[in-house]
């Protein structure tokens, strides 16, 4: 008798779950406007997985990369300011 392989589905954390550690420290509205050219509510809805017509509205792969870039840019700017404090 053979064995049956069971494939376990791996749950990928939502963007909101992934940024939870900094969620209250960052101005997400500013990131939405500055890095995406979108309204403040746009990023809020995306972070909560809400669509604009009542459906689901997850980030596209391109938007995820853009968000990563925005956070890297912001972290670099914060680091530079921290080093300048005398």
36-71 tens-digit pLDDT: 999 999 999 998 888 777 777 889 999 999 999 999
CB 50 within 8 A of CB 15: no
| pLDDT of 32 above 90 | yes
Q: 3-state SS string over 31-77?
A: HHHHHHCCCHHHHHHHHCCECCCCCECCCCHHHHHHHHHHHHHHHHH
With respect to residue 34, please indicate whether it lies within any of the assigned structural domains.
yes
Burial 45-69 (b: 16+ CB within 10 A, else e): bbbeeeeeeeeebebeeeeeeebee
With respect to residue 24, please indicate whether it lies within any of the assigned structural domains.
yes
Q: How many domains does the chain have?
A: 1
With respect to residue 6, please indicate whether it lies within any of the assigned structural domains.
no
With respect to residue 56, please indicate whether it lies within any of the assigned structural domains.
yes
Range of the domain at 23: 15-79
Dihedral (C-alpha) 59, 63, 67, 72: value to the nearest 10 degrees?
Answer: 140
């Amino acid at each position: 008798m053979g064995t049956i392989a069971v494939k376990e589905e791996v749950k990928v954390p939502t963007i909101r779950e992934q940024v939870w550690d900094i969620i209250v420290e960052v101005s997400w509205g500013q990131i939405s406007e500055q890095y995406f050219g979108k309204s403040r509510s746009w990023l809020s809805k995306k972070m909560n997985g809400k669509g604009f017509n009542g459906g689901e509205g997850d980030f596209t792969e391109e938007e995820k990369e853009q968000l990563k870039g925005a956070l890297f840019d912001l972290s670099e700017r914060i680091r530079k300011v921290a080093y300048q404090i005398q």
